Structures are given as C-alpha cells and as structure tokens.
Structure 1
Amino acid sequence: MKREKEELVNIRPLTETDLEAVWHLKFKAPDQSYRKWNAPYFYEHEIPLSAFKKRYLQDESILQKLYGIEIDGDIKGTVSYYWENERTRWLECGIVIYDSRFWSGGIGTKALNLWIDVLFTHIDIPRIGLTTWSGNERMMRCAEKCGFVLEGRLRKVRYYQGEYYDSMRYGMLREEWRCLPRNIL
C-alpha cells in the first residue's frame, strides 16, 4: 500500500491507558488480519480487559518487556522480548503491528531497529534472537533488513490450515549491531 506521507514511528513503555488500546487492537478492533501472521498455529483466546491489565500491571518487569509502537502519536502495535533461558542469557524479541494499514511500508523495520537499540543498550547480552515461521515472509524480510542472520530452520514444525511450515530462527550479535549503519532508523 502506498501512503501519502511518512509516518513518525516511535516506541515507548506502555501506560495503563495504552494497555487498554493494545487490548482493543488485539481482541476487538475490526481489523484482525494480524492473527493470520502472528503465530496463527497457536490459538490465543480473548481475555477480559481487567485480566489483561492485571497480567501486565502485577509484574512490573513485564511492562519493561513490552513497549508500544507509536505511529503519529497512536499505539498501533508492540515490540517485546522474553527470556528463552535467562540463566544462559538467551533473549528473544518480537514485533506485532495490529493495524494492517501500516504493513509493508517500513514501519516494522523502523520499530524493530529502535527496539534492538533499546535491548542492546540496556541489557548486557551478546545476542538477540527472533523467531518467526516460513509463512510470514514480511517478518522474515523485516528481520533481514534489520541485520538479523538466519541461524536455523526447523523444517515442518508449524502446522497451519492443513499445511506444514518451517520455524525460522534469526539472531543478531552485539558486534554486528555495532557495525550497522544508524541511518536505517
């Protein structure tokens, strides 16, 4: 989709009000297209707003692990991270833009680059991982444009709508991040 203007993209920690906006985007917005691409082989059932907010507000560290993607001042998605194994310092990150009007225009790449900078700046880790599935070609391109390297392909481990897909494991080392041109932000 060709947009008339370039949007201002930012990421920031979520407020309680932002959590309501994310919940609405995730469960109630008319555009639920993201569900076809964000690990659709896992069923995610709707939870009440109060439970959604409680999950994030009770564990203060979760809010730090989940930032909002702000496009022209409105939350339209999230970036996140989780520990695959905190003891061994294995961190994975992810991104979801819920509003499909903002897909395929470089916004995800901008947001993910900002998130990588936050993670490497504030967490002492040698590597960031990102895992997607072979059915999500936009996410694979986004990862590669951000400087992630395909490290592994687990063949036919994601079953969706009668077809098997591969799990795609990407990684970026701190020294690779340091060498990236900063003009991609």
Structure 2
Amino acid sequence: MTVLEGAKVRLRRVSSEDAEARFALGTDAEIVNMFGVSLSDAKPMTRDAVEQWAEGQANSPYAWAIEVEGCLVGEIKLHSINVHDRRASMAIGKYDRTRLGKGVGTEAIRLLLRHAFTELKLHRIGIRVLAYNERAIRAYTKCGFIIEGRERETAFVDGSWQDDLMMGLLSTEYLT
C-alpha cells in the first residue's frame, strides 16, 4: 500500500497497533452525530469494536489511517470501486476533536484525490454527506467536489429526518 505524505498529514496503512490509539480517542458524541448517529445513541468505544475496526481497515487496500505528528486522528478510504467505470466512493472520519477545523481533513482528502486520479486513474469520486454536516461540506467543496443532488429524509437523527447530499468530483475537473 502506498503511503501518502502531505505537509502535516500522513496517510498510511492501518495496523493492529492503531486499535489502542483508536480506543483512546473514544466516541465523541458530536463527531459521531456528523456520521448520522443520534446523540442519545452514541456508545462508548469498546476494545472489541476497535480491534474489528483495525482488522477491517488493515485488510482493505484502499483504506488509510490519517496520522498527524505521529498520532492517529482518523481514517479515509475509497470503497465501492468500479474498475470498468473507473469510479469509487470516498469516506473520511476524523475522531480527534482537537484536530477539527485545522485543515487536516482537507489535506487528507487532497492526498487521496491525487492518488485516486493520478495513480489509480479513476475518473470519478463520489461522496454522501448529511446536509447538516457543514464542516465536511466546506472541506469537500474546497477540494473541488460539487453538490450533484439531494436525497431527502435518508437518516433519522435526533428525532428528525435528515437529507443526504450527493457530491462528486471528476478527474477532468481535478486535473485542470
């Protein structure tokens, strides 16, 4: 697996040692709320859950740990890859509250996009995001993603229905 290096972010393969770091980051209710988990449903992180997470990520050829200053702060991955159509979906999760709003996610996304479009020769990257996740939408837009549509009432979060936005970026848009 390719290690992707940026100015302050390093994307690398997830290892079994990351389970302990992921456990230490715990479950931040406001962060998991951005993933569509109701605040009342946010559960404490368990050792079993982080071991399963580390194993699953380590076995994926397109999943990277997001590392800053030698510390695990999140993950980013490509999934639902269609080789024939040269497209994939992207997912990112940051778990360290102290790293929010500091450009870490934006840099990680840019590193992944460069790899996806130049090395993997993909043509399209898509992403779904809850419409209320404004921080993520700003980062995706900054990286060139365009809102392509809205899927109404896809998630029931904190007692109300929420919409998903579908965003996409084409290699022709990225490489120009």
TM class by smaller structure: 0.7 to 0.9
Structure 1, unmatched stretches of 5+, are 1-6, 180-185
Matches for 1:1-185 after TM superposition, within 5 Å: 8-27=8-27, 31-40=28-37, 49-50=47-48, 52-53=50-51, 57=55, 61-62=59-60, 64-83=61-80, 89-179=86-176
Distance 1:149 1:121, change over 3 A: same
**TM-score (ref. length: structure 2):** 0.79
Structure 1 residue matching 2:31: 3-state secondary structure: helix
Superposition CA RMSD, Å: 2.9
Q: Distance in 2 between matches of 1:11 and 1:175?
A: 24
Q: State the match for 2:3 in structure 1.
A: none
Residue identity in the other structure for 2:9? V
Q: Distance in 2 between matches of 1:95 and 1:18?
A: 16
Question: Runs in 1 of length 4+ with deviation above 4 angstroms?
Answer: 43-48, 58-61, 84-90
On the 8 A contact 2:57/2:63 being kept in 1, the answer is: no
Q: CA deviation at 1:84?
A: 6.7
Structure 2 residue matching 1:16: 3-state secondary structure: coil
Q: What count of residue pairs does the alignment treat as equivalent?
A: 169
On the 8 A contact 1:91/1:129 being kept in 2, the answer is: yes
Q: CA deviation at 1:87?
A: 6.6
Q: Distance in 2 between matches of 1:165 and 1:39?
A: 9
Q: CA deviation at 1:149?
A: 0.9
Structure 2 residue matching 1:115: 3-state secondary structure: helix
Q: State the match for 2:4 in structure 1.
A: none
Q: CA deviation at 1:146?
A: 0.5
Q: CA deviation at 1:127?
A: 0.5
Residue identity in the other structure for 2:70? G
Q: Distance in 2 between matches of 1:55 and 1:98?
A: 13
Q: CA deviation at 1:177?
A: 1.5
Amino-acid identity (%): 26
On the 8 A contact 1:26/1:32 being kept in 2, the answer is: no
**TM-score (ref. length: structure 1):** 0.76
